[in-house]
Structure 1
């Protein structure tokens, strides 16, 4: 009887360890989730009109993209994200940062539509004055392209789930 109990315990332990190994692997594949909050930090800095903070947050975003496994985000997507994020990170001019944010947003929207970036809904916003989109975690419009000058200019064009 003790031998049977011991064998069952060993088998059960093996399955539990295998289950944890699979969970860790699954977490590794959800890496792009971390990019969305980094993107939102850039957006929020631009909404507040803080060029220095936007550049700093863009540097964090670049590090996040570079540390993401190419199995999770393909090289073309990485290239598109980094093209504008690097320029935004190097800029000290708010107007220039907002221009690069438009390109970064285009790449992020593409990524959001092809990968699950969030358990929560992601809202694609559109600014008719800038003719550009951006992503937001909330339905309330806070325009990163014009900040306080036209804070509520724009609307939700799609909800990405």
Structure 2
């Protein structure tokens, strides 16, 4: 009887460890996507199309690396509804050095990143959903201070914080 209890307890512990490891992997993957997204945003803030192009390639790679097996059913639904759009926009940004075209795709990219991050509350730092009334589009930032990626240096502080996504750790 003691052996059965010990085996049962061991299985429960092993299941908990595997589940925690899967969540850590998912958290890391989503945070890698977020970091790559923020790198694209920061390049656009600086009016640096070449860096945005390069960082968008990294973003494409990070999006492709996300595994759905560790997601809940709800998260899988959200990821599947956004992943193609995220890939499409990041790929377009990575294939052009025209900053206006990059910024057009960044608006859609930002909308879908926000959707993903609302479904995957795993961000390791506070994130801010910011909004530009001139562009009528939002973006995510790791700083509360406004640095507008749609207009860069010409209108750097145009916008406001609309929401804070609190860090989970």
- How many angstroms does 1:57 deviate by? 0.4
- Alignment gaps of 5+ in structure 1: 1-6
- Name 2:94's counterpart in structure 1: 89
Alignment of 1:139-154 (within 5 A): 139-154=144-159
The answer as to whether partners of 1:81 and 1:104 remain within 8 angstroms in 2 is: yes
Provide the C-alpha distance between the structure 2 equivalents of 1:158 and 1:113, rounded to a whole number of angstroms.
Answer: 11
- How many angstroms does 1:156 deviate by? 0.2
Provide the C-alpha distance between the structure 2 equivalents of 1:90 and 1:156, rounded to a whole number of angstroms.
Answer: 30
Provide the C-alpha distance between the structure 1 equivalents of 2:66 and 2:90, rounded to a whole number of angstroms.
Answer: 15
Alignment of 1:74-153 (within 5 A): 74-153=79-158
- Name 1:28's counterpart in structure 2: 25
Provide the C-alpha distance between the structure 1 equivalents of 2:68 and 2:20, rounded to a whole number of angstroms.
Answer: 19
Which string of whole-angstrom CA distances, capped at 9 and with x for unpartnered residues, describes residues 51-100 of structure 1? Answer: 01001100100000011012445322211211211111111101110111
- Name 2:38's counterpart in structure 1: 40
Deviating above 6 A after TM superposition, structure 1's stretches of 4 or more consecutive aligned residues are none
* Alignment RMSD: 2.3
Structure 1-normalised TM-score? 0.84
Structure 2-normalised TM-score? 0.81
- Name 1:3's counterpart in structure 2: none
> In the comparison of the two structures, how many residue pairs are matched?
153
Task: Tell me the SS of whatever aligns to 2:68.
Answer: coil
Provide the C-alpha distance between the structure 1 equivalents of 2:43 and 2:94, rounded to a whole number of angstroms.
Answer: 12
